[in-house]
Amino acid sequence: MTLFFEHESFPQRVRFGSGQAAAMLTDEIARLGASRVMVIAAPAESALAEDVTADLPVAHHHHEVVMHVPVETAARARATAARHEIDLLVSVGGGSTTGLAKAIALTSGLPIVAVPTTYAGSEATTVWGLTEGARKTTGSAARVLPRAVIYDATLTLSLPVPMSVASGLNALAHCVDSMWGPRADPIDRALAQEGIRALRIGLPQVTANPADLDGREHALYAAYLSARAFSSAGSGLHHKICHVLGGTFDLPHAQTHAIVLPYVLAYNAPAAPEAEQQIAAAFSATDALDGLQQLRKRLNAPTALREYGLNRSDIERAVDAIVPAVPVSNPRPVTADDLRRLLDAAYSGADPASFAYGRGNKR
């Protein structure tokens, strides 16, 4: 075996312990020397955020959190942080909450300590995203990576099962995209493979017994692995598609990822046999797509974009926006007609196996 690659890891402190969020967070704020903290949490999680930040020097609680981080929302949050002379941000919540903290850090350089309550994984990446009008812009900057992450599975216990499933499959999408992202390397693939394995174990436990901490811990552990792999490997075809769908048509982030994933896997896997084998092994299956679909069936995963607000008439507009963003490193070429077929299948919830080019030849 001959290996040749470059891999860059960003500095971040990670603390993991069920029931320990408040104590771990207090330690981290003291370690960073902050004295005027801005706590960011959506209204639905404001009580939870107040509990875990009760012992912090909080100067302001901020609750205006909007999916896909509109630029107007980010501007108001930045102004609020400046007005209160904030020296550190604490985000308590999912991807939208972490995303808002990143938007503030992008222009201010303020440090972030993230306390995730979903499996979105944004807390472990250098990726930021802002939406203006119907266009979502993403980028990567080291300054938006949280200095520390506090993982406490008890904070995910109130996450409903359908949202847990969608959020977990979003993490799984990070893993799959990390197998062939623009900068994917063997370390990224190893992290992604372990992330898939942990999600295969954890998510069925969460659906069978939502109060089971073991399943929640597996999913949270996997969310971190998937995000680290994705942050290094870069955004692949799946995420380019989903960013357009979310930003342009305001589709829910996690559900969109959960629905689109099997179609991208079906499209790319025949052209990436080594990655396909790694994904299959993580699912303990002989075929990557079969393994994913078996898991999705056990989880009663969402299946069709039409159920979440996409209209068939939107597909052509989406194709036009996605084509220029397709990574040149994708395992197989992608045409507008390919995207049209993929989105039409995801719109209606068609069987991904029937969509897979070359699937019959592979066997």
Nearest to 263 by CA among 164, 353, 160, 161: 353
Rounded distance between C-alpha atoms, residue 128 and residue 103, angstroms: 7
pLDDT of residue 9: 81
Q: Where in the chain is the domain with CATH 1.20.1090.10?
A: 161-362
* CA–CA separation, 259 and 263 (whole Å): 8
pLDDT digits (tens, 9 = 90+) for 1-44: 678 888 888 889 999 999 999 999 999 999 999 999 999 999 99
- The confidence score (pLDDT) of residue 360 equals 41
Q: Which CATH superfamily is domain 161-362 in?
A: Dehydroquinate synthase-like - alpha domain (1.20.1090.10)
What pLDDT score was predicted for residue 339? 96
Which of these, 157, 120, 153, 123, lies nearest to 17 by C-alpha position? 153
Q: What is the pLDDT of residues 74-87, one digit of tens each?
A: 999 999 999 999 99
Average pLDDT score over the chain: 94
Sign of the Cα pseudo-torsion (326, 70, 192, 124, in order):
positive
> Which pTM does this prediction carry?
0.91
Domain with CATH 3.40.50.1970 in the chain: 13-156
Q: What is the pLDDT of residue 1?
A: 63
The Cα 341–Cα 109 span in angstroms is: 42
Q: Which residues contact 261 (CB under 8 A, 6 or more apart)?
A: 169, 172, 173, 176, 238, 292
* Model pLDDT, residue 8: 81
pLDDT of residue 7: 83
Query: Nearest to residue 225, comparing CAs of 278, 165, 178?
Result: 178
Spatial separation of the C-alpha atoms in residues 293 and 135, rounded to whole Å: 31
Write out residues in the chain with pLDDT < 50, as ranges. 358-363
Distance CA 188, CA 232 (A): 7
Look up residue 252 and give its two tokens: 């829910």
Domain 13-156 has CATH 3.40.50.1970: yes
